[in-house]
Structure 1
Amino acid sequence: MKRQTALAAVLLLLLAGCTRDRRDPSPAPSSAPSNGVPSAPSAPGSPPGETGAPTSALPVGRSSASLTVDGRQRTYLMYRPASAKAGAPLVVVLHGAVGTGRQAAQAYGWDAEADKGGFLVAYPDGVNRTWNVSPDCCGVAARDDVDDVGFITKLVAAVPGVDPKRVYATGISNGAMLAYRLACETTIFAAIGPVAGTMLNECDDPAPISIIHIHGDKDPTVPYGGGPGRRSNAGTGRLPAKIDGPSVPSLIDTWRRTDGCPAPATTKSGPVTTSVATCPQGRAVELITVAGAGHQWPGSKPAPAAERLFRLDPPSTALNATPTIWTFLHAHPKA
């Protein structure tokens, strides 16, 4: 039994699309109220959680909250910089498999970017550190058909003082896959910024949306050219992980057609190739390809121990993904 448990744990770790802070345990249930608003002093006449509550209903800095979705308690962290004003943008940052909201907050630099940009950041936690993006991926969330789309939708609605035209999602690997599913199944986001991910869900009739996608062309886990990645198990077993998407350029072409975009303009700077299509109604679809980069968030904090143990790829230094994504998101509010 101990051997089976250990093997299951290793398999789950091998699903990782991001580095993990090994001091960060699975998040404990938050003591915040179940309406999802972190504990904070209320502005006069505007109790936390009510529609139209000001951004000041959130405490400055990082706070925790929880929601009940489909009978399951879901947890997340919020970050409100002192610079955030009423009607601030919101960026939802989705960790990769085996990650957590706290790990994503520590690794990718979104708090510091929010300080400069005056926006709010939400860091939700997947069930057993995974997100449900298709019947075959990924892990416990897919196996148990967890309602992650419902969770993120309810989370966005619970954050007070947000400009509904400037709600965005970004994420890495399994989190990037969820960003694509959210783009397909909701209309609450103005733009998404997937990193090292692909689209595995059915997406028959999506609404137009702005997209910036960043990917290394040597990614072995979510291959740039499409097809099965090194951690794909064809969706079998206790922890399904069928990672078998289209090539990244063809996926981006699909979204350009959805947005009615013309042919993109392409520029190259060292190992970074950027293709941008300027689309109707102020939208854009952009692909940034990092030559020689693997499965990682460019510019993030490295975790050498995790890389040695689990063969995770070190972050590229050719690009700092976080400010690059925020610059794009900020320029593309909902039409």
Structure 2
Amino acid sequence: MKFYLLLLSFIIVPVFTGCIDSEDNNKLIINRSEIGNSCFLNESISQRQESILVGDSVRKYSLSVPKKLSGEKLPVILAFHGGNEGGFYFPQQPSFERLSNNEKIIIAYPQAKKEINNEGAWQLNTDENKMQDINFIEHLLNYIQEEHCGDPSKTYAIGYSLGSMFTYELACHLSDKFVSIASFAGTMPINPKSCETDKSINIMHIHGKNDQVISYSDSWEWKNWNSVGTMMDIKTLISFWGDKNLCLSKSSQDLSEYSEITYSDCKDNTKVKLFALNKVGHDWPEEINSTSTNEFIWNFLKEN
């Protein structure tokens, strides 16, 4: 499959002048099959804004790739922004960028796009007629793995708010692409239209018990977006994935800062974890249990 990459950069104009879009000289449409594989180049990329053509839709993302050895495969994190974030912003993004360099992780920040079916952000309750976001992420992962040596066995998704909700769409529809997901302040529909996973996936969900936007304790109706329907409360969400992963054991503990629920002895040696933060609302916390939230999330991902 050919991937068409729009690089918002002028540096490579002299090399690829034959690929310039005549209608907009600020954007270069590059056929990735016609250029060298950067997997074998010792290059570093920092939050470079790029786009790929998926069907007839141009989809945008920001990409960071640390320096690596030629052909060295690196872990991949896709970070999904919330509904009102816009652009490529993700909470604690500077901290995630430092993590990318220190731990040698490829990080991409996909951008939601307004579509008829998705209320202007990430598509929820995906079905066969609303696969635009799933197709985008599948194309993006294939590109990162092929061109930047992303490791398929160490590919993860993280998300905030609506981005957290979308990570569960990925768990349902691209379980063969992701090893683990970890997110904050989201949930998923009570009656998903489709969630037939190809394999089990590790889940870590973090949620503030005082969240007034996405309730921790109660199910709720998704705005006026009838295609999504009623959303799960958080304990139901975790129970859903414990059942989906055929987990045999459940444990819990209550600490001063948070409550923890763990489903273990699961299919494919996976686990499902919930951290319910006692004094936190909908805003992304800077720390969890005296650990920076971005590191707290990475510690879970890299261990699974």
Scaled by the length of structure 1, the TM-score of the pair is 0.70
**1:228 aligned partner, one-letter code:** W
Instruction: Judge which range, 101-110 or 268-277, deviates more.
Output: 101-110
Return the match for 1:262 from 238, 248, 256.
248
**Corresponding residue number in structure 2 for 1:113:** 99
1:61-140 aligned within 5 A: 61-82=46-67, 86-104=72-90, 107=93, 109-128=95-114, 130-134=121-125
**Corresponding residue number in structure 2 for 1:3:** none
Q: Distance in 1 between matches of 2:69 and 2:294?
A: 18
Return the match for 2:297 from 325, 330, 333.
325
**Corresponding residue number in structure 2 for 1:188:** 177
Return the match for 2:277 from 272, 286, 290.
290
- 1:18-71 deviation per Cα after TM superposition (whole angstroms, max 9, x unaligned): xxxxxxxxxx9983545579xxxx9xxx813xxxx5263753322121111131
Q: Distance in 2 between matches of 1:189 and 1:256?
A: 17
Shift in Å, 1:119: 0.7
Distance 1:191 1:117, change over 3 A: same
Q: Which structure 1 segments of 5+ residues have no match?
A: 1-27, 137-143, 301-315
Q: Distance in 2 between matches of 1:325 and 1:182?
A: 17
Q: Is the 2:182–2:203 contact (alpha carbons within 8 Å) kept by the matching residues of 1?
A: yes
**Corresponding residue number in structure 1 for 2:9:** none
| Residues matched between the structures, number | 266
Instruction: Judge which range, 247-256 or 203-212, deviates more.
Output: 203-212
- The structure, 1 or 2, with the larger RCO (C-alpha pairs under 8 Å, 6+ apart) is 1
Shift in Å, 1:81: 2.3
**2:110 aligned partner, one-letter code:** P
Return the match for 1:31 from 16, 23, 27.
27
Q: Distance in 2 between matches of 1:135 and 1:258?
A: 18
Return the match for 1:210 from 199, 202, 205.
202
Identical-residue share of aligned pairs (%): 23
Q: Is the 1:84–1:119 contact (alpha carbons within 8 Å) kept by the matching residues of 2?
A: no
**2:149 aligned partner, one-letter code:** G
Distance 1:254 1:153, change over 3 A: same
RMSD: 3.2
**2:292 aligned partner, one-letter code:** N
Return the match for 1:173 from 158, 161, 171.
161
Shift in Å, 1:217: 1.1
The answer on 1:47 being equivalent to 2:39 is no
**Corresponding residue number in structure 2 for 1:6:** none
Distance 1:57 1:135, change over 3 A: same
Shift in Å, 1:321: 2.4
Q: Distance in 2 between matches of 1:202 and 1:328?
A: 29
**1:193 aligned partner, one-letter code:** A
Scaled by the length of structure 2, the TM-score of the pair is 0.76
Q: Is the 1:298–1:317 contact (alpha carbons within 8 Å) kept by the matching residues of 2?
A: no
Distance 1:135 1:153, change over 3 A: closer
Secondary structure of the residue that 2:154 maps to in structure 1? strand
Q: Is the 2:247–2:263 contact (alpha carbons within 8 Å) kept by the matching residues of 1?
A: yes
Distance 1:251 1:84, change over 3 A: farther
**Corresponding residue number in structure 2 for 1:246:** 232
